[in-house]
Every structure is written in C-alpha cells, then in structure tokens.
C-alpha cells in the first residue's frame, strides 16, 4: 500500500503521485464549488457575497489547520524513507494527540470571536448575518478538518496518493445531496450549506480512519509506540507549526485585501467570491504538485538521496509551466462560461458581475507560473526539513497583499484588487528560488557521505532561517 519515491525517474514518480492527489483536491474543491453554485443560483448573489466575505478569515483559520497537518506528515515521510518504522509510528500517534489539542483550542476561540472578526473586517451590513451564520458552522467543523487532513497527509507521506481520493469522491456526492436537502427542504440558507460541508468532510475523515487501520499494517502502533513522546511532539511541532503559521501569515494579507474589497460594496464582494471559487478550482494542480514535492523531498532526504532533490524540483517546475499555459488559454476563451457556474443570469446586476468576475479570473491565471513555483518550491523546502523558511515566504506574501489592499485598492479600485495575489506570488518567488537552491546545496555540503540515521536526525530538528 506504500510507495517508494527514492528511486526511479523523478518526472514519472512526481506525475504519478500528483495525478491522484489532484483528483482528491478537485473533489475537495467540489465542496466549495457546490456551496457557491447552489447558494448563488438558489439564494442569489447577496448570499453568495456573504459566503465570499468570509473567504479570507476562512483561509486564515482552516489554512492553519491544513498547514499543520501537512507539516506533521513530513517527519513521517522522512522516517518512511529511512525505513525506521517504529519511530514513524510514534510520530503518527503523537500527531494525533497534538491535532486533537489544537483543534479544540481553535474551535472554542473562533466560535467566541466569530462576530468580532467579521466586524473588524468591515463586512457589509447587508451581508453580515449570513456571513456570520456560514463561517460559525465552518469553524465548529474544525475537528473534522483535522481528522481528514491529518490522516490523508499521513497516507500520502507513505507514497499512497490514491486512497484519500476515493473517500472524497463519496463525501462530495454526499455534500451535493445534503446541500439540496438543507437549502430546498429545510430552507436553512447559507448555514445549511456550511452544515452539509462539515458533515460530508466528517464522513470522509471517518472512512479514511477505518481504512487506514485495516489496510495499513505498517501503521499499527504498539502500546509502547502509542505513548506520549515529548521529543516526537517537539519534532512534529517544529515542522507543523511553521507550516500552519505560513498559511495564516499569508492569510493576514488576504484579510486586509478582503476588508478593502468589502469597502467597495457588495457587488464587488460577490464578483471576487465567484472568481475565487473558479480560481481555486483552476489552482488545484499546483496544490497537488506541492503535496507531491513535500513527500518526494521528505522521503529522499530520509533515504539520503540528496542527488535527486534538484532533479525533482526541475521536473515538477516543467509540469507547472505546462499547466499554467493551458489554464491561461482556457480562461481567455472560456472565463465567462466558468463564471456562469456561480452567477444567476436573472440577477439585475448580472452583466456587471460577469465582467468583474472574468477580469478577476483572467488576471490571476496570467500569473499562474509564479504561483506554481510558490507551491513547488515552498513544499520542497518543507519536505527537506527547512520549514522555517516557509514563514518568511508567507511574510512576503502578506506584505504584498497588505500594501496593495491598504494603499492601492482604495485609490485604484477593483483592478488593484485583481493584481494583489500576483504581486504576492512574485514577491514570494524572489525569496523561494534562491532559498530552495541554497537548502539543497546546504544539505549536500553538510552531509556529503552522511548515513541515513545522521541525515534523519538532522532533519527532525528545526532549522533556523
């Protein structure tokens, strides 16, 4: 059930790992897409704008959860590459303990502060109540976010990128059915769409857990391995917390930008909401490439195959460039058709909404290759063990979005908002490109003939930037 990424063609291995992961991410995005499509079509652009107004704070909190889960899986991948299975299982058990604690703290804190956060973000009054109803339910579902994403990340770290996809396919179908039931039958509005998303992800998480326990003997922990291990927790936090903070720091800039867009009015909020849903779908391949590179680099560092790191980064970058060109051409030709998935043609402001949505999506896809490099290089660096660098890249993204959102959107308007994310990606790449090359050179210089155990111990410790 596991897959060794330490031998064979890097291009073939990365592509083979990326495709199943991509399908999983597409199913995951289907959650958000179905919410937006049903909300936009059945409840109108006002409700869609309410959901969109929560996008940045949603990314701030849920992104932290996803980053932590991905980071916890890196020591697992490294021990898998080193064939140190007892220590790998200790990491798995302690990752579960840490996730439970973090999920509890986040759920309580976000539930208490939900309204205050939306108020601070200048959420338009006509969208506020729906926005609060939607995001509160999402925050209450944080434990199931951890459940699924931690288990899926661990399974992927073992080289199996297919299994999580099957459960997401099941829950995606369930999500569609529940959306329609809650909104049409129970008239529950945007809160019903959020409940459907949480319940569907809970199903995928539980299914993933049952399957993992039954089908992965390599993960069956002994009583000794199940004990709380402070050293393992320290190593997990050294990887997971920086990755989580990287997402959250990046999201701070998005929150500032969202606040500026909110001040432009609900029509612009709705356009960004619709455009963001389409963008998130189009950007799934880059997330899949990042997940592939984290596992690829983690396993090869654990196995001492440092000569394969640069080849892997180069191969994945070629894949990213090819897809970026395809996505741009596709949106130049079919952006309007994509936007229609989320907009209702009978809206009184439909023509304006459609034009604004297309402008947003085409602008972002024109800069997709810088986004590809952000994901490929950042996750490669994290897989090598230098997770601290991820925070620095996130800081640069935050600064770029903050500057554009605070200074340019109020004066230049919606067009400036469209260029905020591309500016953030380019700023991050200016750091990540030399940082990735430097990390590879550092590993090879520091460990030219190191044993597997020496390399693995080095990577289990946090590295100062």
Cβ within 8 Å of residue 323, ≥6 positions away: 285, 286, 368, 372
Phi, psi of 21 (to 5 degrees): -60, -40
* DSSP reduced 3-state for 229: coil
Note the pLDDT of residue 1. 53
User: And the tokens for 103?
Assistant: 């999920």
Note the pLDDT of residue 2. 60
Cβ within 8 Å of residue 53, ≥6 positions away: 118, 121, 123, 124, 127, 131, 258, 262, 269, 273
Claim: this prediction has a pTM higher than 0.75: no
The parts of the chain modelled with pLDDT lower than 70 are: 1-3, 24, 27-28, 30-36, 45, 448-465
What gap in Å lies between CA 449 and CA 351, rounded to an integer?
A: 64
Residues 259, 74 contacting (CB under 8 angstroms): no
What gap in Å lies between CA 429 and CA 416, rounded to an integer?
A: 20
Note the pLDDT of residue 464. 38
> Could you tell me if residue 159 is left (phi over 0), alpha (psi between -120 and 50 degrees) or otherwise beta?
left
What gap in Å lies between CA 353 and CA 209, rounded to an integer?
A: 42
Q: Alpha-carbon torsion 452, 458, 461, 465, what sign? A: negative
Note the pLDDT of residue 32. 62
C-alpha to C-alpha distances, 65 to 4, 21, 60, 141, 245, nearest whole angstrom: 27, 18, 9, 11, 9
Note the pLDDT of residue 28. 66
* Residue range 342-375, pLDDT digits in tens: 777 777 778 888 899 999 999 999 999 999 999 9
Tell me how long the chain is: 465
Residues 113, 125 contacting (CB under 8 angstroms): no
> What are the residue boundaries of the structural domains of the chain, listed by start?
10-460
What gap in Å lies between CA 433 and CA 7, rounded to an integer?
A: 25
The pLDDT > 90 percentage for the chain reads: 30
């Amino acid at each position: 059930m596991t897959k060794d990424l330490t031998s064979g063609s890097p291009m073939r291995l990365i592509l083979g790992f990326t495709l199943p992961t991509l399908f999983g991410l597409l199913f995951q995005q289907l959650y958000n897409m179905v919410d937006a499509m049903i909300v936009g079509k059945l409840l109108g652009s006002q409700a869609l704008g309410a959901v969109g107004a929560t996008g940045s704070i949603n990314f701030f909190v849920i992104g932290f959860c996803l980053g932590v889960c991905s980071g916890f899986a890196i020591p697992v991948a490294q021990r898998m590459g080193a064939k140190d299975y007892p220590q790998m299982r200790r990491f798995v058990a302690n990752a579960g303990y840490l996730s439970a604690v973090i999920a509890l703290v986040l759920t309580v804190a976000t539930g208490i502060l939900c309204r205050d956060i939306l108020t601070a973000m200048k959420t338009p009054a006509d969208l506020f109540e729906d926005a609060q109803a939607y995001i509160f339910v999402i925050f209450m579902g944080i434990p199931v976010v951890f459940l699924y994403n931690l288990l899926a990340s661990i399974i992927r770290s073992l080289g199996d990128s297919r299994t999580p996809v099957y459960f997401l396919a099941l829950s995606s179908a369930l999500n569609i059915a529940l959306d329609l039931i809650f909104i049409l039958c129970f008239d529950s509005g945007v809160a019903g769409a959020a409940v459907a998303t949480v319940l569907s992800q809970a199903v995928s998480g539980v299914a993933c857990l049952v399957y993992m326990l039954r089908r992965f003997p390599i993960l069956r922990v002994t009583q000794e391995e199940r004990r709380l291990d402070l050293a393992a927790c320290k190593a997990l936090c050294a990887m997971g917390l920086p990755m989580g903070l990287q997402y959250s720091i990046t999201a701070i800039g998005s929150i500032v930008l969202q606040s500026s867009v909110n001040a432009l009015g609900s029509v612009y909020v709705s356009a960004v909401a619709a455009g963001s849903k389409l963008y998130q779908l189009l950007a799934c391949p880059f997330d899949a490439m990042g997940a592939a590179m984290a596992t690829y680099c983690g396993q090869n560092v654990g196995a001492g195959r440092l000569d394969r790191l640069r080849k892997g980064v180069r191969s994945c970058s070629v894949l990213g460039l090819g897809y970026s060109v395809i996505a741009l051409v596709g949106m130049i030709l079919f952006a309007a058709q994509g936007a229609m998935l989320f907009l209702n043609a009978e809206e009184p402001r439909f023509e304006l909404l459609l034009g604004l949505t297309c402008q947003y999506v085409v602008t972002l896809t024109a800069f997709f290759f810088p986004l590809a490099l952000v994901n490929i290089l950042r996750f490669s660096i994290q897989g090598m063990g230098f997770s601290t660098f991820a925070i620095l890249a996130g800081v640069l993204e935050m600064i770029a979005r903050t500057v554009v959102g605070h200074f340019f959107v109020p004066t230049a308007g919606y067009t400036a908002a469209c260029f905020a994310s591309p500016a953030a990606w380019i700023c991050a790449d200016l750091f990540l490109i030399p940082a990735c090359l430097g990390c590879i050179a550092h590993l090879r210089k520091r460990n030219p003939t190191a044993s597997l155990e020496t390399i693995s111990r080095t990577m289990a410790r946090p590295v100062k930037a």
